[in-house]
Chain A
């Protein structure tokens, strides 16, 4: 396999990991804040806190891994995206910083005022919204060249229906993914009231999530016809993804096997995410930047792949240990272990 394909697959895979883990995290923060607001926090706060505590820093690393790897494998992206994204990504950094540190401040430092819970919940929804502008910009049409520098056309970005569809998609998927996961987690903890509440949220959010996802495909038809055509060519993958979606909703609806429901959800997003990636190929930034012309030097590509393989050999057992001790540990999940 050519180096650029290995590189982009690895990065896409880690980005997918971030999307799932961060969605659970962001959504959990929001549901926690919402439950405080409607005074239902006695039902779900405990479950949410028990899940979040041991994994909060690991979530962040997936994101760091993605952007460091991106610059490593495809250095030209640093030039294009770096120049253009100055404002949107800086806003994301501020939100990530406030959210990440206030988690530690409230959990360990007992700054437990409701205001922080709300701030935490809201910032969690703004982060995916601000990060997803990158996806919008990658479709092309929002950048203009001025002399020898690139600029972002904010007006075009803010008035484009595509932007807002992608923002809404990221919000609804965050809430949907998170709710399905927490349903399963609460069920494992034998907490039937929390399970019921989260199940209801999951079913509520499943509808807008699938509607916006479909809507974006329609919008691409006018915005980027080439990309739209590629998506049509991969129709069977999106169809498969839709089947998994139906599977999740069915299982939730009939209160059966929440573990499998979550697995089907992961499969649904995995297939759609990769199909979206394939259909974007070969562009990293339409129409300026393709994957082949931005690949790093040969020597560096080899070195990165070797380092990645070695790193994964170290990481997978460690991640497994983390999951064994917390997520898949019945006594921990049920609160019998501290």
Chain B
């Protein structure tokens, strides 16, 4: 196998691991917050249903955490195995947030263990709830730190490159790089949003299956409210991200918007397909919108692909990823908004079957948006690993066995994915909420 193939398989394997990990990681970041909220509502309202929500979510969460932990370990080791040259450079300049991420993870792991095994130990549920605070903080901060590392790859700074050597390294400056604020907030907020909608989907799905318990309705109100708040926040931060890209990574913005010529009053291209002759067909053009997105006023000049050297232009298919991400984001926000307004006005349509199916779709859709967003962000940085410093083909391993490893991991992820789905569905199918409530009544519960 030659170097070119090594690079190709290294990219494929990294993409596979990250795409699989991101599903469990997103849930891992967001769900602790929702469990905390449910537990808090249960205590405040003295309502056993919310406590049960927290309990049942936690049970499922443990399964996703387990897969998240092992795939996270996998990507951590794989970065060293597949991109040794990059990690050597990163070790000198950006190891600090990586290191801090393990602390956050450590912190979360300890308290999650305690939380899981002390359900019946504390008389006072408030004490038990306090254990969730470090879990939620640890989960969110691991996302913050690891995204800092990723944002460094987009806008590296905090060192001088002298004759190929890294000099005068400033770790804090490397951590707080220009793309850090938008990237970190977008990642954290969309993780909360996605987790909330995933839980809303489950609630809607159970009602569709015929369980008409008030418990599911309470779950829906809570999760959709949270999901809506964070989806609006995600959209606002998304707008900041556009302005950031125009300033620091114009090639990514130009590629994802199919903006070929540098011009003022730039229109925004929605949808469409690109033919082999670089012609855009079936698209919808919004006049001035790209200038507004990029700089905040309609006649601003936006840099196009004509100013970017050919060998530094990212692949143009990221436009589709961008569309998928934005459309889903807007779609689920709308569904959430209609549900809450409808419920507030006491309209019956929010619980009719068709609308429930829409709600049931929000979770999987949000997850697709997360994947699309990450592909957009990562592929949009090509051909660089470290923008402007290290090209992808120079960073990959020179080993000959990467293709074999790829097949091995395809098998592993199929096994893990299928098994986690089977286990999760069995857990809840065999123990529906009606039964658990009855059992708790005979035991004499706290509320």
A-to-B contact residues, CB < 8 Å: 53-58, 60-61, 63-65, 67-69, 71-76, 78-83, 85-87, 89-90, 92-94, 96-98, 100-105, 108-111, 148-151, 296-300, 303-304, 307-308, 311, 314-315, 318-319, 321-322, 325-326, 337-338
Contacts and interface: CB of A to CB of B under 8 A. Distances in A.
B437 interface: no
B166 interface: yes
Contacts of A108: 59, 62-63, 423, 427
Contacts, number: 236
A150 B84 CA distance: 12
B102 A94 contact: no
Contacts of A322: 110, 113-114
B87 A71 contact: yes
Given A297-B159, A307-B99, A322-B113, 18 more contacts: A57-B66, A61-B102, A61-B109, A71-B90, A81-B80, A83-B397, A86-B397, A89-B77, A93-B73, A97-B70, A97-B73, A101-B70, A105-B419, A108-B63, A110-B427, A298-B169, A307-B96, A315-B103
Contact of B100 (A55, A83, A307, A321): A307
B267 to A, nearest CB: 45
B405 interface: yes
28 contacts: A54-B114, A58-B113, A60-B70, A61-B109, A64-B73, A71-B95, A72-B99, A76-B91, A85-B81, A90-B409, A94-B409, A100-B70, A104-B66, A296-B92, A297-B92, A297-B93, A299-B168, A300-B171, A303-B171, A303-B172, A307-B100, A307-B103, A308-B99, A318-B107, A318-B111, A321-B114, A325-B117, A326-B117
B238 interface: no
Given A97-B71, A300-B169, A303-B171, A86 B401 contact: yes
- Chain A contact surface mostly: helix
A273 B72 CA distance: 28
Interface of B: 59, 62-63, 65-67, 69-74, 76-78, 80-85, 87-93, 95-96, 98-103, 105-107, 109-114, 116-121, 134, 159, 166-172, 397-402, 404-405, 408-409, 412, 415-416, 419-420, 423-424, 426-427
A83 B6 CA distance: 12
Contacts of B74: 93, 96-97
Contacts of B404: 87
Given A75-B95, A94-B412, A97-B412, A67 B110 contact: no
Contact of A96 (B73, B167, B419): B73
Nearest to A325: B114
B70 A75 contact: no
Q: Which 10 A-B pairs have the closest CB atoms?
A: A75-B91, A72-B95, A109-B423, A104-B66, A82-B84, A78-B87, A149-B398, A303-B171, A311-B103, A297-B169
A248 B424 CA distance: 44
A58 B106 contact: yes
Contact of B77 (A53, A67, A315): A67
B373 to A, nearest CB: 25
A297 B166 contact: yes
A144 to B, nearest CB: 13
B432 to A, nearest CB: 15
